[in-house]
Structure 1
Amino acid sequence: MIRAVITGTGSALPARRVSNAELAETVDTTDEWIVERTGIRFRHIAGPDETTATLGRDAAKAALAAAGRSAQDIDLIVLATATPDQTFPSSATKVQAMLGINDCVAFDVAAVCSGFLYALHVADGMIRSGAARRALVIGAETFSRILDWEDRGTCVLFGDGAGAVVLEAEETESRGILSSKLHADGRHNELLYVDGGVSTTGTVGKLRMKGREVFRHAVVNLSTVLTEALTLAGLEAKDVDWVVPHQANARILEATAKKLGLAPEKVVVTVDQHANTSAASVPLALDTAVRDGRIKRGDLLVLEAMGGGFTWGAAVVRY
């Protein structure tokens, strides 16, 4: 059986690290207010020379190094983002050029915070079908560019960053991506969206969110899709070594784990250090836990996320 195996992980963060206290100097908020409601303490904000594509490139380089591969080994790049460098061409092709790859399949996926799960699913399918052998799957965002810095309910929640994995085709039944499950429900557009667009306002727009309602949907949807993905793989919650979730809010992570009966110590949490980096948050958290030694070869992981749309999904991976 051909499976897509994660052979390397990488991540990249902008140089500027912003604490809650620093943010409180310009936004009507406090460190205590942010920590109590979200668990966030820091976020990274991209500078003028840092973009979604440059962060994606740096994360990809780190993942390639971890996998022991060169850029020329890659025949597919799928980049998940809601904040591309340009309307077109795709940020994936910009990363491709920066890595010095003359020709490979490269495209973006837009599913907001679920983007990395969608991108992983697409790359997994292409590898299983034989359309690709080695892929870079990247989640990269510069959400600071679309925040309303006068809206304390949203601007404190997000940060910039990128994460990446190298996926390789391997004949195995014991490791790799064992299952994945995706969903979308466009009826909830008004709960989490950007109020601009090319064909509507001709502007980039700013992020708008009804946080309380998003929270309610997130807990139900994430716990459900996690169970669905495990069932597809013939596994149960008790088999899971680590949950690597979208890092939106510490309270969502706690509530989801409780609903599934998972011990809190099995959940990888980086939201306190990076805030919500949208499509970058799952691969960023994965790379953090791999590099600090928590996640080891052979561990069973569940990756899960929910984002605007609504979109949501989960993948079961034997690392």
Structure 2
Amino acid sequence: MNVKITGTGCYIPTQVTTNSSFSKFEFLNTDGSPINYSNEVIIEKFKAITGIENRRYVKDNYTTSDIAFFAAEKAIEDAKTDKETIDYIIVAHNFGDIKHGTTQSDAVPSIASRVKQSLKIKNPRCVAYDVLFGCPGWIEGVVQAQAFIKAGMAKKCLVIGAETLSRVIDIHDRDSMIYSDGAGATILEATPNNTGILSHLSATYAYNEADYLFFGKSYNQTADSTKYIKMYGRKIYEFAVTHVPQAMKDCLDQSNTAIEDVKKIFIHQANEKMDEAILKRFYRLYNKSIPEGIMPMNIHELGNSSVATIPTLFDSVKKGMIENQEVNTGDIVMFASVGAGMNINAITYKI
């Protein structure tokens, strides 16, 4: 028995924030001193490295649990399933619900419980809980759902990745331009066929790496004590390009799948240059060249929405929403992610 995704859905916020929107920001160094470049130069370098031109922010009246619910509704509809038959709702996020104009995270009750309430599911044996695993949270939720189903503890699971990073950015930090909002959801069920999840791998590197992504004060030394998402970008880049390719290889080899049979690779949309470097090193491990078009990307228009990047990207490709990208029945694809913790995971999957 394998476990397969039978429905997908996503919510992409309608508010577009362009790179030029940051032209009036006062970007500062970590010590609070001015950066010796104009904002135009900073934005130009940012785009060259990350590939991001636009990003999406939620409307003021929405929170993470709201957009998780929107994506969940679409996934349930896509799977043509009865919501009362869902055994687990697993929601991956990082910062809970943060209402517009506030600075306090709210995750009590859990985001998953709030989604269940919004879906109006009455079945008390539909268990709802959250996963905090950094950007790889959606993949980890899928891995957990598979374990429940294979153990006979569930027949159907709803796994969601949702985040509103626009609510936790420091406007004086250049890295604030990376982050965005979004939600992606999937329904997983058992399948008797040799499709679905073929292999998976997860790892946590915390001995020296746990604080590469963290919550810290604003770079504006006169600001209040509110904390924001912060990262050591160079360390994360080096960590990712060093460890993710090998993790992907170990995962693929575990499935007994040849590298030539992989049709698409869905990597967490964090940084275009980093993802390209990961892909290059992954294929180098097999002494192979990178096939054209194997890595779909939407980071240019959507930015980095953390746990939502892979499920929204997969849903978009699956439904023909990205030009010159498609997946077909029988295709073997990979999912891979890296993020706060520092956590890494990967899945080999047959459509």
Equivalence for 1:195: 216
Q: Is the 8 A contact 1:14 1:50 kept in 2?
A: no
Deviations 1:186-245 (A, max 9, x none): 12123211238xxxxxx8721111111110111122111111111111113222100011
- In the other structure, the counterpart of 1:20 is 19
Q: How does 1:153-164 map to 2 (within 5 A)?
A: 154-164=175-185
Question: What is the DSSP-based 3-state SS (H/G/I as helix, E as strand, rest coil) of the residue aligned with 2:209?
Answer: helix
Q: Is the contact made by 1:113 and 1:308 (CA closer than 8 Å) also made in structure 2? A: yes
Residue type matched to 1:312 in 2? I
Cα distance in 1 for residues equivalent to 2:300 and 2:292: 15
Q: Tell me, yes or no, if structure 1 residue 148 matches structure 2 residue 176.
A: no
Number of equivalent positions: 310
Deviation for aligned residue 1:46: 1.8
The one-letter code matched in structure 1 to 2:296 is V
Matches within 5 A, 1:77-88: 77-85=89-97, 86-88=106-108
Partner of 1:200: none
Percent identity between the aligned chains? Answer: 29
C-alpha separation between the residues in 2 aligned to 1:73 and 1:65?
13
The SS at the match of 1:312 is strand
- Which of the numbers 146, 153, 156 marks the counterpart of 1:124? 146
Cα pair distance change 1:146/1:12, threshold 3 Å: same
Measure, in 2, the Cα distance between the counterparts of 1:123 and 1:214: 28
1:61 to 68, 73, 80: 73
Residue matched to 1:302: 334
Of 31-40 and 114-123, more deviation after overlay is shown by 31-40
Greater shift in the superposed pair: 96-105 or 62-71: 62-71
Quote the Cα distance in structure 2 between the aligned partners of 1:163 and 1:184: 23
Which residue is 1:273 aligned to? 301
In structure 2, which of residues 49, 61, 64 is the aligned counterpart of residue 52 of structure 1? 64
Normalised TM-score (structure 1): 0.93
Higher helix share: 1
1:270 positional shift? 1.1
Question: Displacement, 1:15?
Answer: 2.3
Which residue of the partner structure matches residue 206 of structure 1?
A: 228
Give the conservation status (yes or no) of the 8 Å contact 1:138–1:162. Answer: yes
Aligned counterpart, 2:345? 313
After alignment, is 46-55 or 131-140 more displaced?
Answer: 46-55
Tell me the equivalent position of 1:3: 2
The alignment partner of 2:265 has SS state of strand
After superposition, the C-alpha distances for 1:262-310 in whole angstroms (9 at most, x for unaligned) are 3251001111111111111110111111111612222111000000110
* Residue of structure 1 in register with 2:111 after alignment: 91
Could you tell me how far 1:145 is from its partner in structure 2? 1.3
- CA distance in structure 2 between the aligned counterparts of 1:15 and 1:235, rounded to whole angstroms: 39
* Equivalences for residues 231-270 of structure 1 within 5 A: 231-261=253-283, 262-270=290-298
Superposition deviation, residue 27 in structure 1: 5.4
How far apart, CA to CA, are the structure 2 residues paired with 1:190 and 1:168? 36
In structure 1, distance between residues paired with 2:129 and 2:159: 10
Write the letter of the residue equivalent to 1:307.
G
Compute the TM-score of the two structures, normalised by the length of structure 2.
Answer: 0.85
Q: Please state how far the C-alpha of 1:37 moved relative to its aligned partner.
A: 1.3
Of residues 234, 238, 244, the one that matches 1:216 is 238
Bigger mean CA deviation after superposition, 21-30 or 130-139: 21-30
Counterpart of 2:55 (choices 31, 43, 56) is 43
How far apart, CA to CA, are the structure 1 residues paired with 2:296 and 2:185? Answer: 17
Specify every segment of 5 or more residues in structure 2 that has no aligned partner in the other structure, as ranges.
28-38, 98-105, 218-224, 284-289
